[in-house]
Amino acid sequence: MPRRPRVVSDTGIYHVMVRGINRMDIFKTSGEKEKYLDTLGRMKEDGEYTLYGYCIMDNHAHLLIQEEEDTIDRIMKRIGVSYVYYYNEKYERIGSLFQGRYRSERVESEDYLLACLRYIHNNPVKANITATPAAYRWSSYNSYISRYLKEEDIISRDFILDIISEDRPKAIKQLIEYTKLRDDYVFLNDKKDEDEPPAQVIIESILSKYNLKPRELGTTKHREMRNMLIEKIMKETNLSARELSTIIGVSRATIGRVLDDATATDSHP
């Protein structure tokens, strides 16, 4: 089924969510979260977008972003490619890292803009990670409630604070109170996911084109085809070598050699 084209926001503002493939943790460490923020800052310096809010969780991230010099699709692609390159190099892996396309929704009104920001900042509270938004280091909340914005901060907060009040201390105080409120909006995390087939289903789908079942892959005499399929499965499922070994009956050592060969091939034109 072809993907439906995204509906363009008249304001150029979007609430965006990216998530790890198979819901895996892709921002596991402080260093990885910092790297993603560095990537956001670097792209922002190039004038590609304005960033109004963010929250980096372990397996997903929320952004409140406005197009500037480029489209949201190209912006998210550049951010994603840069981070995936870093992550794959760090863990010596290949293949996709994010779950399909980024998810997004248009932000067309000031009310919804404020509600999105509140929702983003409350993510760690909703996940029972912290008791308050201020206790979570990896969101833009503390940038908003600080009296002075640090020069190196990647957040453009004036636009949103001015919506609340032109009096800065008053705006900050009201934003703090507003963030404590609940609402009935349905945001990206609460909407029904697109179909996300489990790894076993993906493997069976790949192998069915070759009239193979998972446990038959290890016994096939066609070595080149076997290696090609192992590489394809690893890219599309993000399973570890141990997990894949259990499913298809191929040793972890063999899978490792296949991935090493694929990496060597990719690194040489």
**CA 263 to chain CA mean position, Å:** 24
* Model confidence pLDDT, tens digit, residues 7-43: 678 899 999 999 998 778 899 899 999 999 999 999 8
13-190 is classed CATH 3.30.70.1290: yes
Q: Looking at residue 107, what DSSP letter applies?
A: -
Largest CA distance in the chain: 74
Residue 121 half-sphere exposure toward CB, CA atoms < 13 A: 26
Confidence band for 216, pLDDT divided at 50, 70 and 90: confident
Q: How large is the average pLDDT for residues 98-119?
A: 90
pLDDT of residue 267: 46
* Model confidence pLDDT, tens digit, residues 142-186: 999 988 777 778 999 999 999 999 999 999 999 999 999 987 677
Is 269 a residue whose pLDDT tops 60?
Answer: no
Instruction: Give the three-state DSSP class for 80.
Output: helix
pTM: predicted TM-score of the whole model, two decimal places: 0.70
Q: How large is the average pLDDT for residues 121-138?
A: 95
Which distant-in-sequence residues (6+ apart) come within 8 Å of 26 by Cβ? 20, 32, 58, 59, 60, 87, 97, 98
Distance CA 67, CA 51 (A): 9
pLDDT of residue 262: 67
Q: How large is the average pLDDT for residues 193-222?
A: 75
Distance CA 72, CA 226 (A): 38
For the chain, what percent of residues have pLDDT higher than 90? Answer: 46
Identity at 261, one-letter amino acid code: D
Start-end of CATH 3.30.70.1290 domains in the chain: 13-190
